């Protein structure tokens, strides 16, 4: 791999990794509190993109407003999912909660199929076109097929830079919320001990609802950035990124927000690099994500940044 390619791949990996991180944070926050793998999280991601798409194409709102609508819609959806599906079964066995999550995921996908049809839609033209441009460093000008073009050089999509900056900013805000507000303190308390927190006069259900809303809003932002980068949307688009983000969350140590970010970045960069260095193994790409996970878990069962769980008898 040439140096140019290496830089290109690295930046790509970091930007995909930051998208994984944005989704993974939602997984990890919910898991930290409820010990629930929220399988529907990837579908919230998908729904947010559809909200954004229809806000622009059907209601012709400006794109920046559509982002706000989509993120708010995702937050509301996450909150509703918790209220309708998860709250009634808080005390049921954990496996029932997990299966319910799978059911909710099915439901959202089927709903999207019925409402938006199962055919892939184009996300191009929803956002201003400069987001699809490239920054080219170096390279030489040549004439190819009657056009002046630049050959070679290091090429970085504008959206890559925007993704990395947005993710950093959003995570900074999240960190402020979790560690420097009362609600954030309540969230951390709930994640440690629900009964005690509720004895302290905290409305646990509201805090859980808020966690869902916050996590879903992040997934919504991730979804929109994802769709700008890969401009197609369809009802099953949340599945694979959802699984990958979940792997990232476990990789980093589930329950830890910082871990989710680290896990996302590692996964994103490794995925691209493996294909970059060994192109013939590209068909096994998704297997590598799982293989990395299994290796990390067998060496450090609580993930890279996770705290070791001590079970009291």
Partner 1 sequence: MIKLNKKTQFFLTIIFIAVIILLLFTAKENLNSYIVRIITLIGIYGIMSVSLNLINGVSGVLSLGHAGFIAVGAYISSLLTMSIYQKEAIFIIQKVIWPFNSIEMPFLFATIIGGIVAAIFAFLVGWPSLRLSGDYFAITTLGFAEIIRILALNLTSVTNGALGLKSIPSYTNIWWAWGWLLVTVIVIASYVNGTFGRALRAIREDKIAAASMGINVYKHQLITFVLGGFFAGISGSLYAHWLTTIDPRTNTIGIMLTFNILIMVLIGGLGSISGAIIGAGLFAILSEVLRFFEEPIKIFNFEIAGISGMRMLIFSALFVLIMILRPKGILGRKEITWNNVFSLFHRKGDK
Partner 2 sequence: MKKILIVLLICVVSISSFATIKLAALMPMTGSVAAFGRMIYNGIELANELFPTVNGEEIEVVLLDNKSDKVEAVNTARRAIEVENVVAILGEVISGNTIAGGAVAEESKVPMVSPSSTTPLVTQDKEYVSRVCFSDPFQGLAAAILAYEIMGLDNTAIFIDVEQDYAVGFANYFKQKAEDLGKNYFYEYYKSGDQDFTAQISDAIAKNAGAFFIPGYYQEIALIASQARQLGFYEPILAGDGAAVPETIEIGGDAVNNLYFTTHYDPGAPNTTENAKLFVEKYTEKFGEAPGTFTALGFDTYMVVRDAIERAGSSDPEMIAKAIRETVEFPGATGFITIDENGDAIKSVAIVKIEDGEFVYSTTVNP
Residues that bind partner 1 (CB under 8 A): 31, 35, 37, 84-85, 88-89, 92-100, 102-104, 106-107, 109-111, 113-114, 118, 246-247, 250, 254, 283-284, 286-287, 290-291, 293-294, 297-298, 301, 309, 311, 313
98 binds, among partner 2, partner 1, none (CB under 5 to 8 A by kind): partner 1
Backbone angles phi, psi at 138, to 5 degrees: 80, -160
Q: Could you give the angle at which helices 204-229 and 41-57 cross, rounded to 10 degrees?
A: 60
Q: Tell the smallest beta-carbon distance from residue 120 to partner 2 (Å).
A: 6
Query: With contact defined as beta carbons under 8 Å apart, do 19 and 241 qualify?
Result: yes
Residue 163 binds partner 2, judged by CB under 8 A? no
Closer residue to partner 2 (CB): 126 or 202:
126
Backbone angles phi, psi at 237, to 5 degrees: -65, -20
Q: Tell the smallest beta-carbon distance from residue 305 to partner 1 (Å).
A: 15
Q: Tell the smallest beta-carbon distance from residue 63 to partner 2 (Å).
A: 16
Query: With contact defined as beta carbons under 8 Å apart, do 131 and 139 qualify?
Result: no
Site string for partner 2, 54-73 (x = CB under 8 A): --------------------
The C-alpha atoms of residue 21 and residue 129 are separated, in whole angstroms, by 26
The C-alpha atoms of residue 256 and residue 247 are separated, in whole angstroms, by 13
Site string for partner 2, 112-151 (x = CB under 8 A): -x---xxxxxxxxx------x-x-x--x----xx-x-xxx
Residue 230 binds partner 2, judged by CB under 8 A? yes
Instruction: Please report which helix (H) or strand (E) contains residue 143, including its range.
Output: strand 140-144
Q: Tell the smallest beta-carbon distance from residue 149 to partner 2 (Å).
A: 6
Instruction: For 167-208, give the DSSP string.
Output: HHHHHHHHHHHHHHSHHHHHHHHHHH-HHHHHHTT--HHHHH
Closer residue to partner 1 (CB): 143 or 294:
294
Site string for partner 2, 12-51 (x = CB under 8 A): x---x-----------------------------------
Identify the residue among 94, 96, 286, 307 touching partner 2 (CB under 8 A): 286
Residue 285 binds partner 2, judged by CB under 8 A? yes
Residue the block writes with tokens 């439901």: 107
Length of the chain: 313
Nearest CA-CA partner of 20 in 289, 245, 297: 245
298 binds, among partner 1, partner 2, none (CB under 5 to 8 A by kind): partner 1
CB atoms within 10 A of CB 35: 13
DSSP, collapsed to helix, strand or coil, labels residue 134 as strand
Query: With contact defined as beta carbons under 8 Å apart, do 160 and 226 qualify?
Result: no
Which pair of structure tokens corresponds to residue 179? 């560690």
Q: Which residues bind partner 2 (CB under 8 A)?
A: 1-2, 5, 8-9, 12, 16, 113, 117-125, 132, 134, 136, 139, 144-145, 147, 149-153, 155, 157, 226, 229-232, 234, 236, 239-240, 271-273, 275-276, 279-283, 285-286
């Amino acid at each position: 791999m040439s140096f140019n390619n290496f830089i290109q791949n690295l930046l790509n990996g970091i930007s995909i990794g930051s998208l994984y991180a944005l989704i993974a944070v939602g997984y990890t926050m919910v898991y930290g509190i409820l010990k629930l793998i929220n399988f529907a999280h990837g579908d919230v991601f998908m729904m947010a993109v559809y909200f954004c798409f229809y806000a622009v194409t059907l209601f012709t709102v400006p794109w920046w407003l559509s982002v706000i609508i989509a993120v708010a819609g995702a937050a509301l959806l996450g909150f509703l999912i918790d209220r309708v599906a998860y709250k009634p079964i808080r005390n049921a066995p954990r496996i029932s909660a997990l299966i319910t999550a799978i059911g909710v995921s099915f439901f959202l996908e089927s709903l999207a199929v019925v409402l938006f049809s199962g055919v892939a839609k184009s996300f191009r033209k929803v956002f201003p076109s400069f987001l699809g441009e490239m920054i080219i460093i170096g390279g030489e000008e040549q004439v190819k097929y009657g056009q002046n073009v630049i050959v070679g050089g290091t090429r970085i999509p504008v959206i890559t830079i925007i993704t990395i900056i947005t993710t950093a900013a959003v995570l900074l805000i999240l960190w402020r919320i979790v560690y420097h507000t009362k609600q954030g303190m309540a969230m951390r308390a709930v994640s440690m001990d629900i009964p005690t927190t509720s004895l302290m006069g905290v409305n646990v259900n509201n805090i859980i609802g808020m966690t869902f809303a916050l996590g879903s809003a992040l997934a919504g932002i991730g979804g929109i950035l994802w769709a700008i980068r890969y401009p197609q949307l369809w009802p099953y688009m949340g599945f694979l990124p959802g699984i990958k983000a979940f792997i990232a969350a476990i990789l980093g140590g589930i329950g830890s927000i910082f871990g989710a970010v680290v896990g996302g970045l590692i996964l994103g960069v490794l995925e691209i690099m493996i294909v970059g260095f060994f192109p013939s193994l590209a068909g096994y790409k998704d297997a590598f994500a799982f293989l990395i996970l299994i290796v990390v878990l067998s060496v450090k069962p609580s993930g890279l940044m996770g705290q070791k769980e001590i079970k009291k008898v």
